[in-house]
Amino acid sequence: MRLSQLFTKTSRNVPADETAKNAQLLIQAGFINKEMAGVYAYLPLGKIVLDNIVQIIREEMNAIGGQEISLTALQGKEVWETSGRWSDEVVDVWFRTKLANGTELGLAPTHEEPLTAMMKRFIDSYKDLPAFPYQFQIKFRNELRSKSGLMRGREFLMKDLYSFSTDQAQHEAFYEKIIEAYHKVFERLGLGDITYKTFASGGSFSKYSHEFQTLSPVGEDTIYVHEAKKLAINKEVFTDEVLADLGINRDELVEQTAVEVGNIFTLGTKFSEALDLTYNAEAGGSQPVFMGSYGIGPSRLMGLIAEHFADDKGLVWPENVAPAKVYLARLGDQPAVVKQADELYDRLTTAGVLVLYDDRDMRAGEKFADADLLGIPYRIVISEKTVAADSYELKARQADTAQMVKLDEVLKTLGVTA
């Protein structure tokens, strides 16, 4: 993409109505636009980042049998009344609205009910199980207070997968698989080392649920980390009983603040019984389907990644989620310089490398500052110097200095095979 064509631009001023670093940087760099408190629009570069995160999650969900769907945001109240969750006393974050004829509607804060109801069309027999539908959907939650930029919005993107199994044993087999899949997701997002499977409060069908907590000073949760076992315990369930269950001594744990980036739940037959989702068992007889739910917040992850990797010059995206791999800064518009820059841009683009080509008529300092602020992993400068040396000036985002290298070295660094 040529920056001269990109309609967004960076700002030298930090927005005054945000204090969260992720929101400040993402707005300043033109990745997102604030619509209202806790509600953000995604601009071209931000949309690419979000899509990259989504794609990583999608690939890992598909790898374990997930099938992507897209449910609706508009919800009629009947199915929620059946499960008891239409009530404000039970779910206090509903956004409610009405049809023109007065029919009550809500904007979905989650999707257990409509999906469970829908699956009645397709689940009749044990032969139809298990099933793992999932979606990426904007959830609406009327929080009393949104905060921390993308970390906690009133409207946010969520990947929610639901498992439908014959019984607890079949359910647990999948539960273990999704834990592994989640670890892969966070590994690919560059957060593997600081993300812990965390024991949290369960429900009527399991003693615990599991959260995936990423260490961060801006986190809202307190967890107790067992580094050797690579797990953690949420403060909300931190008791002697839990320690005994896990065979852990209190002095092996370190208290940390963390951000909940994922949460997996054994739902059991809570929703299937409420909504009458049953199947005919192999041995005969009707049984309620055994369910689980599994969430990850891509938009929250984007905020967390922005916040976690940023330095004093701006964003620093991991390669897997960066809006481009290379920031190609062309200094000046002399024909030879333009030629070298255009040719490299074409070469890399053809090879499938995403390049932000800064072909704008701006000074070097501004281009360098934007390259840093946008957080693109590699910066390549083309100038009279590089033309004269038949070389390219290459610098990783976090490197202190640039190096003059030949084309093959550029291609090798960027993983382009000749």
Partner RNA sequence: CGGGGAGUGGCGCAGUCUGGUAGCGCGCGCGGUUUGGGACCGUGAGGUCGCAGGUUCGAAUCCUGUCUCCCCGACCA
Report the interface residues with RNA, using CB under 7 A.
10-20, 36-38, 92-93, 141, 143-148, 151-153, 156, 158, 211, 220-221, 260-263, 295, 297, 299-300, 313, 331-332, 363-366, 368-373, 381, 383-386, 393, 395, 402
Closer CB to RNA, 140 or 174, in the complex: 140
Closer CB to RNA, 132 or 156, in the complex: 156
Closer CB to RNA, 102 or 365, in the complex: 365
Closer CB to RNA, 188 or 300, in the complex: 300
Find, among 351, 330, 370, the residue nearest to 413 by Cα: 351
Cα(272)–Cα(283) distance, rounded to whole angstroms? 20
Cα(314)–Cα(402) distance, rounded to whole angstroms? 18
CA 205 from centroid of its chain's CA atoms: 28
Closer CB to RNA, 49 or 129, in the complex: 49
- Residue 31 contacts residue 43 (beta carbons within 8 Å): yes
Single-letter amino acid, residue 61: M
CB of 149 to RNA, least distance (A): 7
Closer CB to RNA, 20 or 223, in the complex: 20
Cα(28)–Cα(255) distance, rounded to whole angstroms? 33
CB neighbours (10 Å) of residue 74? 11
CB of 379 to RNA, least distance (A): 7
Find, among 4, 334, 303, the residue nearest to 153 by Cα: 303
CB of 13 to RNA, least distance (A): 3
Q: Is it true that the peptide bond before 318 is cis, omega within 30 degrees of 0?
A: no
Cα(240)–Cα(412) distance, rounded to whole angstroms? 54
CB of 83 to RNA, least distance (A): 16
CB of 218 to RNA, least distance (A): 8
**Paired strand residues for 198:** 211, 232
CB of 281 to RNA, least distance (A): 32
